[in-house]
Each structure stands twice: as C-alpha cells, then as structure tokens.
Amino acid sequence: MPTTIKERVVIASASGAWLTTEDGHRLLDLPAGLWYANIGHGRERIAQAAAKQMTTLETYHLFGIHANRPAIDLAERLRGLVPVADASFILTSGGSDSVEVACKLARRYWQQVGRTRKTVVLSRTGGYHGLHGFGTSIAGLDFNRAGYGTESLIPETARIPLADLAATRTLIERIGPGNVAALVAEPVVGTGGVHPPPDGYLTGLQALCQEFDILLVADEVITGFGRTGEWFASHRWGIEPDLITMAKGITSGYAPLGAVAVSGRVSEPFMSGDDAPIFRQGITYSGHATACAVAMENLDVLEEEDLVARVRALEPVLATAFGSLAESPLVHEVRAIGLMAGVQLLPDVPADEVIRGCRERGVLTRLLAGNALHVCPPFVITPDEIRFAADVIAAALDAVA
C-alpha cells in the first residue's frame, strides 16, 4: 500500500484504446483496464443506453416473482451465444460473484440429486477466480489463498496441475471421483501469466470430467465475449462446459455485471415440479436493469462492428509484434493467443522499472504472476498501435538491461 499511494496513476478520461491521466499524460491501455475494455473506452452510445434505462427504471430486483425486462432480454440473448446445452442464466455483479454462484450451484446440484459426498472443487494451479470466498479458496495462485487462518477458506478444494492430464487423473482417483463436485478452469489462464491451453488439453479435461461425472466450469471472465477470436474460448477449443462464468467483457467495463450460464442438466432439479427447491443465491443487484441495458448495447457494438472477427484478424499481428520481444536477453518467454499475451521476464528483471519505463514512453502495462507483463488491449486497437506498444516494451527493456 505505501508504494501504491506514492506512485498512484490516476486515470481521468479515456477514448478507444487510449487513456489520459490526471496530469495530462496519454497512455495506450495495454491491459484494457483489467481485461475488460473490449469495445474500447468513451463510447457515447453506451452512456445513452444507460441514461435511457436509468430514467425509465434504474433497476428492479429479481427476487421471487419480480423481474425487469433488460435482465430477461439479456439472458435470452446470451442463450444464443454460449456453447452450453439448453442454457439458462444467473446474473451477478461481477466475476468473483459468478465464481461464487457456480461453485455453490455445483455443490447444491449434487446434494439435490442425492450424491451428497460430491463436494470437492478442483481448480488449476496458476488459475485466478476472483477473491470472494470460493475464488479465494480455489485460487491456483498460492498468495491469494494464504493468510486467512486455514489452508483455504472453504474446505474441500484441491489444485490440479496447470496442464497435465495424467497427473489430474491420478489426483481425482486419489480424492475419489465420488467426492468431486466440479472442476473450475480458465480456458486460457490469465492473471497467472497468460497460458494458452496446449493442444488437446481442454477436450482432455472435459473427457476426464465426463468419465468421472464431475461438472466442468469454464471460467470465461476474461476469455468471454471475443478475447480469443471466438465469442467464447469454449467455442475455440471445442468444449461444452456444464457452467460458464462470465463478467468483464459482458459490458466492456461500462457497468458492473456478471453471469453464469447453467446447462439444462444442472438447472433441471431446480426447475421441474411444483416442489422444486429454491437455489438460495441472489443479491440485490443480480440482473441490475441499467447494467443489463449496457450489456445489450455492448453486444450491439461487438456485433455491428464485427469486433470478434477483428480479434481473429489482429491475432497474428499481436503474436508477431510481441513474439519478437522473446529475443531480448531479459525475456524468458512470450505467450500469445487471440488478443492477449504475457511477456514473461526473467525472474531477476525489475519489472516495476520496465513498467515505469513503458509509462514514460506512452504505454500502460502491469504485472501478472510470474513476472509477466500484461498485454490484452481493447479490440479497437490498430496494427500500428500494437507494434508501437511492442516497440515501447523493447525500449523499456533495453533501458534496464
């Protein structure tokens, strides 16, 4: 905290892929905020959609029989976008919320169908799933789990390796598949340093889940809404999860909102028959009408401007520009996929100095786990701006060499 307060960078305004600080410095927003500004900053039409909704009905909650139209319309629209069979949606206020809901629902599902020992939630080493109770407990980055008095806030969690299917099978067999409720996985590990899945990994993981009757939860809080060049990373790698968590790109950051796509299999015990139990999970702002109206407008922008296809077109530009940084003696490895990359510096390279050097040269980046620089620009970035950002990082690296 002391350093944070001393070096605070206050962003005052933004447009497209560019930020302006309070003291008038222009910076290219390489992390798109925190992986969220997919359509870019400063879109007038989103503000207008929010104002229209707020002056009609700011929100009305979704408890019991109550609802609001934007929430219903958004859920209907999302149904057509996700690779989840017979999907219904639980709307939340962000990514951590979505993870909380998905983990609770997975465990609640098994209780409801009579497999009451299935409670353990597995997650990938290196994974990040937000910082609520479940997100903290299943954190694959140890520093996010440590310091709360027990090994994890919520017991009955375990970490699988980052990408080793054989070791994952061994672990499941040791825990006992009859004890495992769900496996939560980011298709591309983000905060852990940007780790794309090896060929066949995600389909292999899905096959393991099917074999052992474990619910597969794809955490697409970063990868959802176009980041890997498909609407969802699950599309790109050909999986059909039981649940998908999403947030961030659902509104491109213009309002706090998240959602969980729930497959027909998982929702069925709560939907059929007059005595169906209530899944007791809802918060005041679940399905906030203004946030949902903003999400609808954001989806319009993504579709009208064909921005998901733009990510596909920019993928090789980003891979080439940032890939060339791997030649630097200070860089361990560059991993890129879609419009995201992690530039992993050697462990002893002072990343803070590199990041400061980038800011002085007009590019904002930040640190991910494993001493990696965060690259995940808004989809509206141009090829020239991508090359500019890579050149700036190269110059900042040279300056500390």
286 sits near ligand PLP (criterion: CB under 6 A): no
376 sits near ligand PLP (criterion: CB under 6 A): no
19 CB neighbour count, 10 Å cutoff: 22
Q: Any idea which residue has 């980046």 for tokens?
A: 365
Q: Any idea which residue has 């020992």 for tokens?
A: 117
Closest CA to 237 of 192, 201, 190: 201
Tokens of 289: 């009408």
Region 189-218 residues binding ligand PLP, contact defined as CB under 6 A:
190-191
Part of the chain binding ligand PLP (CB under 6 A), chosen from 101-109, 124-132, 171-179, 295-303: 124-132
CA angle 328, 334, 337 (to 5 degrees): 150
Part of the chain binding ligand PLP (CB under 6 A), chosen from 95-103, 233-241, 318-326, 369-377: 95-103
Q: Which residues fall within 8 angstroms of residue 57, CB to CB, at 6 or more apart?
A: 68, 289
Choose, by CB under 6 A, the member of 29, 100, 186, 297 that binds ligand PLP: 186
Choose, by CB under 6 A, the member of 128, 232, 322, 379 that binds ligand PLP: 128
Part of the chain binding ligand PLP (CB under 6 A), chosen from 105-113, 185-193, 316-324, 337-345: 185-193
Nearest-approach distance from CB 92 to ligand PLP, in angstroms: 9
Part of the chain binding ligand PLP (CB under 6 A), chosen from 4-12, 126-134, 145-153, 155-163: 126-134
Q: Contact, 168 vs 206, CB < 8 A?
A: no
Phi, psi of 157 (to 5 degrees): -130, 160
List the x/- string, 15-34, binding to ligand PLP by CB under 6 A. -------------------x
**In this structure, are strands 26-29 and 363-364 parallel, antiparallel, or unpaired?**
parallel
247 sits near ligand PLP (criterion: CB under 6 A): yes
Q: Which residue is nearest to ligand PLP (CB)?
A: 95
| CB closer to ligand PLP out of 226 and 269 | 226
99 sits near ligand PLP (criterion: CB under 6 A): yes
Part of the chain binding ligand PLP (CB under 6 A), chosen from 94-102, 193-201, 265-273, 290-298: 94-102
Region 313-342 residues binding ligand PLP, contact defined as CB under 6 A:
none
Which residue intervals of 261-382 are DSSP H helices?
264-271, 289-304, 307-323, 351-360
Which residue intervals of 41-152 are DSSP H helices?
44-56, 69-79, 95-112, 133-137, 142-145
Q: Contact, 345 vs 336, CB < 8 A?
A: no
Part of the chain binding ligand PLP (CB under 6 A), chosen from 43-51, 75-83, 123-131, 281-289: 123-131
Nearest-approach distance from CB 288 to ligand PLP, in angstroms: 14
Nearest-approach distance from CB 377 to ligand PLP, in angstroms: 16
- Cα distance between residue 141 and residue 132, in whole Å: 14
Q: Contact, 332 vs 360, CB < 8 A?
A: no
Nearest-approach distance from CB 154 to ligand PLP, in angstroms: 16
Q: Contact, 42 vs 13, CB < 8 A?
A: yes
318 CB neighbour count, 10 Å cutoff: 25
| CB closer to ligand PLP out of 96 and 157 | 96
Choose, by CB under 6 A, the member of 106, 172, 222, 364 that binds ligand PLP: 222
| CB closer to ligand PLP out of 373 and 394 | 373
| CB closer to ligand PLP out of 36 and 110 | 36
| CB neighbour burial string for 211-250, b if at least 16 within 10 angstroms, e if fewer | ebebbbbbbbbbbbbbbbbbbbbbbbbebebbbbbbbbbb
Nearest-approach distance from CB 136 to ligand PLP, in angstroms: 11
95 sits near ligand PLP (criterion: CB under 6 A): yes
Which residues bind to ligand PLP, rule: CB under 6 A? Answer: 34, 94-96, 99, 128-130, 186, 190-191, 219, 221-222, 247
